Amino acid sequence: MEKERKIKVLSVITLVVAILGLTIAFAALSQTLTINGTASVDAASWNVHFESLDGADEVSAELSRTPNEWSNFSGSALTFGNDKTTASVNMTVFGRPGDTIEYNFKIVNNGTVDAIISDVTKNTPEFGTNTEGDSPETGSIVGTPDEEDIEFFNNYFIYKLTYTETGTEVSKDDVINAGEEKNVTLTIGIDEAAPELPGSTNNETDPPLFVGNLGVKIIYVQK
């Protein structure tokens, strides 16, 4: 009788061990994989514009020489539009070859998207002998300059937008990355190699020459 009980006990113990072993085997073949995370979507911002170097609303003209009592060489400030995507110069006056005016400012990309220039268009200047209106700033060019005047401006008139550090002109395929600033210089003037300015005589009845339709359009697109 005692012998029979020992066998039963041994059998029960053996069965329990077998069940535990099976449970452990199942647990070893079971694994939970979890990936956690969050994501947000924020619209990209586009903000390419002009700015002055010092944060002012306009840029003062830097003359290539100091005007004197015999000269009316001068230049007005370059001003920005409300959204700073436009800039304008209302009036500059040149008195002799070598007179040059420079405006130093910058193009800024305050957006989150890299930008590239898809096109740069420079207007063809219009030349005239006088203006209609109260002043050259508000009037329109009238009169037709003679062939000598037109040839002079075609050969010696300077109007360009360049990168200040390199002197290379702003052109198509130039890139401005998000958060980047590029210093630029707008130069307007008369080449110092030019002969005497047209109409620059002592004849007070000789009308002054005016230059209009000056403009550069720069189109930036997403890179």
Q: Over pLDDT 70: what percentage of the chain?
A: 72
Give per-residue pLDDT as tens, 141-163.
666 777 877 888 889 999 999 99
pLDDT tens for each residue of 14-35? 566 566 666 666 666 667 788 8
State the pLDDT confidence band at 203, using cuts at 50, 70 and 90.
Answer: very low
| Rounded Cα–Cα distance for residues 178 and 155 (Å) | 39
More confident residue, 84 or 18: 84
pLDDT of residue 206: 56
pTM: 0.75
The residues pairing with 159 across neighbouring beta strands, listed in sequence order, are: 188
pLDDT at 127: 75
Q: Give me the pLDDT at residue 172, please.
A: 96
Rounded Cα distance between 132 and 152, Å, is 23
Strands (E), 110-180: 115-122, 126-128, 130-132, 140-142, 157-163, 175-176
* Average pLDDT score, the chain: 80
160 closest CA partner among 216, 87, 219, 95: 216
Residue 139: CB atoms within 10 Å: 15
**Cα–Cα nearest to 207, from 138, 143, 135:** 143
What letters, b where the CB count within 10 A reaches 16 and e where it falls short, cover 24-44? eeeeeeeeeeeeeeeeeeeee
Q: Which position has the token pair 């020992």? A: 6
> Can you say how many angstroms the Cα of residue 76 is from the centroid of all Cα atoms in its chain?
23
The answer to whether 67 and 155 have CB atoms below 8 angstroms apart is: no
Looking at residue 26, its pLDDT comes to: 62
In this prediction, residues 182-202 reach a mean pLDDT of 82
Instruction: Read off the pLDDT of residues 50-71 as tens digits, 9 standing for 90 and up.
Output: 999 998 889 999 998 877 666 7
Chain mean position to CA 74: 27
| Model pLDDT for residues 86-120, shown as the tens digit of each residue | 999 877 788 788 889 999 999 999 999 999 999 99
Q: What integer pLDDT is reported at residue 202 of this predicted model?
A: 45
For 51-81, b/e burial (b = at least 16 CB within 10 A) is bbeeeeeebebebbeeeeeeeebebbebebe
- Which is higher by pLDDT, 91 or 187? 187
Q: Tell me which of 214 and 141 has the higher pLDDT.
A: 214
**C-beta of residue 74 within 8 angstroms of C-beta of residue 92:** yes
Confidence (pLDDT) at 95? 79
